[in-house]
Amino acid sequence: MSRIKIDVPDHFPFYTEMEVRITDINYGGHVGNDRFLVYVQEARQQFLASKGYTELDVAGNGLIMADAAIRFKREIRYGQKLVIGVLANDFERMSFDLIYGIFIKEEDGSQVLAGAAKTNMVYYNYSTQKKVSLSPQVISTLSQT
């Protein structure tokens, strides 16, 4: 099987910071792979909130994650500070991708890439339980840099 490729941009339009909790650590002494999706979910919530949205209300409709990919680059340890960047791109009629860069914030302020993720988000009407088309306004708001 070929390796997953996720292009991490040099700059993200949105960043958030988190600290690694003891509950994030697995038996190997580093962050468990499942925790990456938790970090991604939190970053996604904060990204959407910065645009005035929630996952259940993006201009009247919600979002459903269709798939997720993660690329691990470095171990993350308890107590480290993380900076997570989020970028919306690859807009299609009813979906778009979110790209995440997960960086370890070093004591000198520099950042080292620890991993990357990509989720495909489908625009969804929870009342009718059907996919719906993204409006130009939603695309414009989500893609602002």
The domain limits of the chain are 14-138
Average pLDDT of the segment spanning 47-64: 97
Residue 2: band (very low, low, confident or very high) from pLDDT cuts 50, 70, 90: confident
Query: Is 121 a residue whose pLDDT tops 80?
Result: yes
The answer to whether residue 145 scores a pLDDT higher than 90 is: no
Q: Is pTM, for the whole model, over 0.85?
A: yes
Q: pLDDT averaged over the chain?
A: 96
pLDDT of residue 139: 97
Name residue, tokens 């625009």. 123
- At the fourth CATH level, which superfamily is domain 14-138? Hotdog Thioesterase (3.10.129.10)
Q: CA of 50: how far to CAs of 44, 53, 91, 137, 144, in Å?
A: 10, 7, 19, 15, 11
- Asked if the model's pLDDT at residue 3 lies above 90, the reply is no
Residues 66-97: pLDDT tens digits?
Answer: 999 999 999 999 999 999 999 999 999 999 99
Q: Tell me, what's the pLDDT at 144?
A: 86
pLDDT of residue 110: 94
CA distance to 3, 41, 75, 97, per residue, from 45 (Å): 28, 6, 24, 15
